[in-house]
Structure 1
Amino acid sequence: MSKCAFLGLGVMGFPMAGHLVSKGHDVTVWNRTQSKADDWAAKHDGEAAATPEEAVSDAEYICLCVGDDPDVEAVFDQIEGALAKGAIVIDHTTASAGLARKLYERCKARGAQFVDAPISGGQAGAEAGRLTIMCGGDDDAMSKARPIMEAYGARITHIGESGAGQLAKSVNQICIAGIVQGLSEGIHFAESNGLDVAKVMEAISGGAAQSWQMENRWQTMAERKFDHGFAVDWMRKDLRIALTAADESGARLPVTALVDQFYGDVQTNGGSRWDTSSLIIRFDPQRKS
């Protein structure tokens, strides 16, 4: 249907690129670790490129899903000269709104278009093709990019102009940080008072306290199992982006700033790669806080 390039095959990008193939698109991938790209090509009967420039050659759509602002900019520097006129770059990385606006202008100068489209839903959402995607960019670019994103997105919302998608993703992370901290305190309170945590969760999960985090994480939090989900390192990166944007706009995020420090405690306790629900370990007496 369309010629696509997908750059970045982590736990999210690998299945996302696969969904593009399943929808009939011609997909070429690139990954910093070549063996990962080769594995993807073997599994999905696609093409693995040796360089980003090779991957985007003649591509109508270029999807990025890498790590942070410097990673996005480094990859874009390599592909900029190879962008075809009319190509649409869709950046699924959670990065800064400022970078999104910069890349929008750089694409425009080459006759290409840019959509910042950070994602939410975790590895499970990526594998199921049920991601939430928050988008910023021009109406025309969005209308063209939407059919591509529908291969792996269940809810795709055009928030506004360039950078708006990244700002919306910050709102998402701000809300998650507060919810996970509140859930951690609630479970800790139940444990400290000798309550059966399972029964407490059964009682309150049908009411106003219910959340995705409660439904999907309370049990593993109570069991102190964190070998799944979204890593603390990545959450701290996202919160840094949100707090920087808050400083620039004058928004006040006192709880977010505090929870960011709490995640720093988790890192100190060796939890850099633990799931974000690991905030609860700060209440364990043997842990440093």
Structure 2
Amino acid sequence: MPRRLTVYLARLYGGRPNSEDVESVVLWATFGIILGGRLGYVLFYELDSYLQEPLRILAVWHGGMSFHGGLLGVTAGIVICAWRRNIPLLKLADVVAPVVPIGLFFGRLANFINGELWGRVSDVPWAMVFPGAGDLPRHPSQLYEAFLEGLVLFAILAVLAHKPSVRIRHGVITGVFLLGYGLSRITAELFRMPDPQLGFLYGGLTMGQLLSVPMVLVGILLVLWGQYRASRGPQTKTVGQEENEISVLSNHAR
């Protein structure tokens, strides 16, 4: 489903990226998720432990993946793919961004089913007891994240992706994704237990909240950049006109 949706979104833009470009970016993004997610967990969450036993880094079957690390890996994959296939970087990122919440939704459901990453102790009516988390009922924070990071963010990006006036402002959809995920994660972490090896950090914040702050800032900058470029005039061109200009420039460059 994510791949088909990415192809569909690419067709909305017209021209590049095309279905072959999508296949390439999916491959690079997959490598980025695995490598970036693992290295991100090692660097952000258990660096001291892994420095003592470096070979444990390869033991991915024992768990330990970081979304923020995976995001950096996917970003690197998109950059490489855009460079190798001569596709505007922000345009390619805008095609990929609306698909990401689907993976986030199912990932958080898996966290809930596995009884991991549980929430803080609570007396709300829907609180539940998780295996291995003691006898006290807790927030099902995994479901909060599935709702905010998955369903809500997907709906917002889907609406924006179907607006031609937004699609031609390259970087806006990517910026909304970064901003939306960052705010969703910061909010959900208010109900989630921090990682036991780290606990609460500066000002009572969790590592997930601290890592999400730069996402919010970059997201705001991308949205403002897209709006700024639109206000200058050239971005009011249609997608078809833009693709023709890119094609002409490429031919001259040869």
TM over 0.5: no
Which one scores higher on RCO, CA 8 angstroms, separation ≥ 6?
2
Bigger strand fraction:
1
TM-score (structure 2 length as normaliser): 0.29
TM-score (structure 1 length as normaliser): 0.26
Bigger helix fraction:
2
